[in-house]
Amino acid sequence: FDPVIMFYKYDPSLGTIFSQTLKNNHKILENEIIEAVPYYISPKNIKSPFLTWDWYINNIPVGSTNTNRNLLPVATAPGTSGTSTIKLELNNIYKLFTGSAKEINVEF
């Protein structure tokens, strides 16, 4: 299978909300954590140093401040609205053609 990335909402109290993937035009309410879950990726351990996690917001590189590179905290300022594109590129630095990319548009 080709590698696939799915985005989910992560709740610090409940963990990953697997019941619903985040779709295009997902509405961000104040503070939220987006979790990327890769399927069919090698190596299977997502904490492997062989995997690179490159997050982008509107094509500008951003790093996850969390020790878990698959989590991206996002926040909106009160009274603002608009849309942004969040993209993740996930690659294995030792194996060509084993990476994947996923992007979604979010509203705030």
| pLDDT tens by residue, 3-38 | 899 999 999 999 999 999 999 999 998 899 999 999
pLDDT tens-digit profile of 44-68? 888 888 899 999 999 999 976 667 8
Taking a C-beta distance cutoff of 8 angstroms, is the pair 16, 3 a contact? no
Q: What is the DSSP letter of 20?
A: S
Contacts (Cβ under 8 Å, ≥6 apart) of 23: 104
Q: What pLDDT is recorded for position 41?
A: 86
Region 72-94: mean pLDDT is 91
58, 61, 67, 68 alpha-carbon torsion, rounded to 10°: 50
